Amino acid sequence: MAESLSFEGDLELQRGPWGRVLYRVCQFFALAGGVVLLALINMSLVSIIGRKLFAEPIRGDIELMEIGASIAIAAFLPLCEMRGLHIKVDTFTMKLPGCVQRGLDAIGHSLCMLAALILAWRTALQLLDNLEYGDVSTLLSIPMWIPLALIVPSLTLLALASAWRVAHCLTHGGRS
């Protein structure tokens, strides 16, 4: 039962040195997001057990869960985009010629890239604003620029992965 954890189209996406590097970086971000989620699960378990057995939950556990989940979710997005696994409805386009489908896919990935760039830009501005004004979380007083500083690279990587998908759709005829 030694199944591969890779997606069958992964080798196609890793064409050339830039594709391999970008794909590996996306995988690293996703794995880091997974580690964050595992840590959050363990923290939540300890907090629930502490609440039920000792009437002592972890202080700020919900706050930590919100911050950690936002970081993890942002870290998963680049690999999802790189593999072309975002939800899409192609009911109306599946009977169109392949070149039209690829063009529509390129437009979709371009829109994802645009959204990622806008989110990265606005999140970076929020980071600078939080640094200037010293915004902190409610219970634990965690400086809010820290999670934002961890989210901006993920959004930037999402934009790069989207650009790679656009190029892949247009040059290799890759269906996402």
Q: Give the mean model confidence (pLDDT) for residues 51-79.
A: 95
Backbone angles phi, psi at 127, to 5 degrees: -60, -50
pLDDT above 80 (res 10): no
pLDDT in tens, 101-152: 888 889 999 999 999 999 999 999 999 999 999 999 999 999 999 999 999 9
Domain count, the chain: 1
pTM for the full model?
Answer: 0.87
In this predicted structure, what is the pLDDT of residue 172? 72
Instruction: Round the average pLDDT of the chain to a whole number and report it.
Output: 89
pLDDT class of 156 with cuts at 50, 70, 90 = very high
Say how far apart CA 54 and CA 46 lie, in whole Å: 11
In this predicted structure, what is the pLDDT of residue 98? 82
pLDDT class of 14 with cuts at 50, 70, 90 = low
Say how far apart CA 81 and CA 161 lie, in whole Å: 6
Domain hosting residue 133, numbered range: 14-84+91-171
Residue 67 lies inside a defined structural domain of this protein = yes
Residue 9 lies inside a defined structural domain of this protein = no
Residue 106 lies inside a defined structural domain of this protein = yes
More confident residue, 84 or 59: 59
Residue 123 lies inside a defined structural domain of this protein = yes
**Cα four-point dihedral sign 138, 144, 148, 149:** negative
Residue 116 lies inside a defined structural domain of this protein = yes
In this predicted structure, what is the pLDDT of residue 12? 61
Say how far apart CA 63 and CA 44 lie, in whole Å: 11
Residue 1 lies inside a defined structural domain of this protein = no
In this predicted structure, what is the pLDDT of residue 88? 73
Between 61-83 and 16-54, two packed helices, what is the crossing angle to 10 degrees?
160
